Structure 1
């Protein structure tokens, strides 16, 4: 599906969190599962999205993470001890196991072994960029959290290191929320590893979020409860259609290679059903293409999920306007009745203002 010689693009926790937020979108599920580069695909379709970090932010983020993990992770473990486990013995030093292995499967197995050994040892252990696996729509996704800390009592904690600042003790709520959803994916993947051990260790549902303090490069941290995000993500991922079922419904030989002619590529993308919502603009590289298609078709999904939910079986703007004018729809339909009532109130308001009467917008 990617095209001959096109390498697979790995699915990360950020993509999984976005997919879980829109489980009805078969297009994103299939393209992510097949490892298609959606950014290159969007550019080939003529609807590129300005996505990802700037080079400056990327370099700054790596420099900050290196500072947090310097000296064997001493500062990071101090923050974990202070915010999540103050009753434990202070970490004098940490064991940082080597997680090097061949391929993602090898790294996943090496991570599982390191977690098992650290849990049995009962000492502070820092796993730097471990590799975890999580099954998504019948296909394995390999995930790489910034760090996982094993506590002396055997508990496991996910650590998220972000480069957005904490100013005067507070950070951007939207960015904190995105980090929490991403961390929840890692918690789910860690629970898969823990379930294979006997007895299963406790995966803590409070993660540590580490950010720069104010305008400096000094780290500050806070504990973030991700129980709600974990539950929502787990529920949404179970609702995803299996990739084989989506692929079986496609035309024979469908391909999403950016090298294809525009018409052929557009036909291939349109063969996979999409569920667009304005929230996709902040989470999917194909959002601008899907938005243009939704607008061209007059789909009410372009107006937002809440509006779509209120309109029931009315799926296009044309149907909505016809129902408001009394030209379509059943009068006992709650959505139709609400639209006609709104149209009548608007006409009454415009008439009272002396601006003439219009039956609907």
Structure 2
């Protein structure tokens, strides 16, 4: 599906969190599952995306992460103990295992082994730097790489997210914290799959550590973030995703999403997979501009947002909504149709009253 000699784009936790937030989008599911680079695809379709991290932010984030993990992760482990495990012994000379291996499968196996060994060594702190975790998504494995996982002296595991946005006076941008929490929830789910294979299964903590620069400096500070809600939502949404084989079976024979294809052929291939566009996609998907344009062309009510779409029931286009409001179509017993007609009546009354008031004022003059 990617095209000949096109390397697969890895499915990361950010993409999984976005996919779980919009489980009805078969287009994103099949493209992510097939490892298609949606940014290149959007460029080829003539709807380039502005979604993603700038090069400056990427470099700044890497520099900050290196500082947090310097000296064997001493500062990072101090923050973990301070925010999550004050009763534990202060970390000194924590173990940092080598997680290198061939390929993502090898790294995931090496990570699982390191977690098993660390859990079996009570009383010690262990820091796993960029471990590799595997998570089944719609029948296809996704390999995820959190910034760090810490094994506490009691054998429990904590996910660590390191971000370059600042914490000002102890608080960060709520939208960015929310995005980080959803991403961390995916890592928690993947860690739980690893823990379930051990006997006894260690505890995967649902409070993750979010590490950010303090105020306007490059000094690290941290906050404990409870991701139980995000974990439950993500788990439920991922379980609802249609299996990739089912989506692929419904596609035309030989469909391909290579950016090298002619524009018309590529557009036809993309349009062969149903999408579920919503305005929220603009901050989470590289194909959002393309899907928004198609949604507007067809008059789909999804372009107005998920809450509006939910209120309109079986009315799927703007034309359907307007016809129902005018009494030209729709079942009068349908609550959505009844509400639309009542709204149209109130609007007509308001306009009539406003018109009468204007005429009265004109008459006085």
TM bracket, shorter-chain basis? over 0.9
Alignment length (residue pairs): 356
Secondary structure of the 1:130 match is coil
Give 1:289 deviation, angstroms: 0.4
Secondary structure of the 1:154 match is coil
User: 2:325 aligned with 1:306, yes or no?
Assistant: no
Q: Distance in 1 between matches of 2:356 and 2:229?
A: 49
Secondary structure of the 2:164 match is coil
Q: Alpha carbon RMSD of aligned pairs, Å?
A: 0.8
Q: Displaced runs of 4+ in structure 1, greater than 4 A?
A: none
Q: Equivalent residue for 1:30?
A: 30
Q: Equivalent residue for 1:69?
A: 69
The aligned runs of 1:217-228 (5 Å cut-off) are: 217-228=218-229
Give 1:93 deviation, angstroms: 1.8
Tell me the TM-score normalised to structure 1 length: 0.98
Q: Equivalent residue for 2:79?
A: 79
Q: Equivalent residue for 1:243?
A: 244
Q: Equivalent residue for 2:297?
A: 296
Q: Equivalent residue for 2:13?
A: 13
Q: Deviations over 1:151-203 (max 9, x none)?
A: 00000000000000011221100000000000000000000000000000000
Q: Deviations over 1:113-152 (max 9, x none)?
A: 0000001012100000000000000000000000000000
Q: Equivalent residue for 1:187?
A: 188
Q: Distance in 1 between matches of 2:41 and 2:215?
A: 38
The aligned runs of 1:34-183 (5 Å cut-off) are: 34-122=34-122, 123-183=124-184
Q: Equivalent residue for 1:282?
A: 283
Q: Distance in 2 between matches of 1:59 and 1:287?
A: 26
Q: Equivalent residue for 1:359?
A: none
Native 8 Å contact 2:68 2:220 kept in 1: yes
Q: Distance in 2 between matches of 1:173 and 1:245?
A: 37
Q: Distance in 2 between matches of 1:331 and 1:99?
A: 64
User: 2:343 aligned with 1:342, yes or no?
Assistant: yes
Secondary structure of the 1:279 match is helix
Structure 2 CA distance for partners of 1:77 and 1:253, relative to 1, 3 Å: same
- Point out where structure 1 has 5 or more consecutive residues left out of the alignment: 357-361
Give 1:52 deviation, angstroms: 1.5
Secondary structure of the 1:223 match is strand
Give 1:355 deviation, angstroms: 7.1
Q: Equivalent residue for 2:331?
A: 330
Tell me the TM-score normalised to structure 2 length: 0.97
Secondary structure of the 1:258 match is coil
Q: Equivalent residue for 1:261?
A: 262
Give 1:330 deviation, angstroms: 1.1
Q: Deviations over 1:26-84 (max 9, x none)?
A: 00000000000000000000001112111111111000000000000000000000000
Q: Equivalent residue for 2:360?
A: none
Q: Distance in 2 between matches of 1:46 and 1:231?
A: 37
- Point out where structure 2 has 5 or more consecutive residues left out of the alignment: 358-365
